Amino acid sequence: MATRKFKCKVCGYVHTGDSAPEKCPVCQVSSSEFEEIVEPSQAAPKKKGIDTNSNVYTIVYASVMVIIVAFMLAFVSSSLKPMQDANVENDTKGQILTSLNLDIDGMDVSSVFAEKVQDMIWNGTELVPYEGKFNSTYGSLIKEGELHVFVASTDEGTKYVIPVTGRGLWGGLWGYVALNEDKQTIYGTYFYHESETAGLGSRIAERAFQNLFSNKPLFENGNNSEIALSVVKSGSAQSEYEVNGITGATLTSNGVDAMIKNGLGAYITFISAGNAQNAAACDKACEGKKCEKAEKCADCTKDCKDGKKCADCTKDCKDGKKCADCTKECKDGKKCADCTKECKDKKAACPKSKECKNKK
């Protein structure tokens, strides 16, 4: 019993049979022009389950995938965080060691730092050990009054590393300034930047620029209340208190200048108080010793019993002056340093101090 129907697409003739006729009896077209008529009862059954072509399915599927991926990323991030924190900490310690003129390539930074450097806090009167978690940034801490000082033991004596932060042309600047034991001169520096111009401002991160600060004095004419060291326009440095900036990077150089002045300025009480403490300790170590050279105490290079040098002493003379202050020109054209003869036991005043200008 035939149950299939075929309709001519040209004239509409309907043929009933097992297959379409070879020709349409009405319009004579071939069987290729016939299409089968499917009754509703014969239509394919409706699929059961989720319609994967619907908008609802697409939205739900995307949401689930986002949640799963976010969870996986959070898990991986939390798993790697201890390692990331350790790398950041190690990098910061490497920057501090670099400011101490150490080559950290191939160095076990963590071990060397633990051996040579101690994280201290200046509480306004003395240095005390810092017992908290190691910090990798110090800008906000300095603003809050938490002044970290890294006390380092080197082959050239004790050094004090001070963190400094500032701003350049395009972003933040930061670094570390290592001071010599007398806290009057710079031992070494390390600077880096967030996004300064490549080949210009970015050169503050190069050792060639950083080495320009070595042995530069912080203060001028014994004024320990204001940082005299300055970064000036490239090629214009004239005094020992000035460092040439980077050509073509004036704003970045100005940023380094402000960073040093403001950064070290925040520690001015530590630097000044430390000088007095160091002088007293060195005076005691040099007690009973005479200068090797007769011209002035600062020329003394004989080692004291505790390993310090008399040249490190900042000695007060009997009249309250320091031997190192006898450096101004005398009225007769000579320098006081040339007429001190010898600061016996490090406490004699300049014999011709009365001839010096501006001397009491």
Instruction: Give me the pLDDT at residue 151, please.
Output: 97
Kindly give the parts of the chain with pLDDT less than 50. Answer: 276-286, 289-360
**Tens digits of per-residue pLDDT, 281-301?**
444 444 554 444 333 343 333
Cβ atoms 99, 161 nearer than 8 A: yes
Instruction: Give me the pLDDT at residue 321, please.
Output: 42
Type of residue found at 167: R
Instruction: Give me the pLDDT at residue 17, please.
Output: 86
Domain boundaries, the chain: 5-42, 109-272, 288-355
Residue 244 CB-density burial (10 A; 0-12 exposed, 13-18 middle, 19+ buried): middle
Instruction: Give me the pLDDT at residue 346, please.
Output: 40
For domain 5-42, give the fold: Rubrerythrin, domain 2 (2.20.28)
Cβ atoms 192, 209 nearer than 8 A: no
Instruction: Give me the pLDDT at residue 284, please.
Output: 46
Cβ atoms 149, 267 nearer than 8 A: yes
CA-wise closest residue to 242 among 271, 218, 267, 206: 218
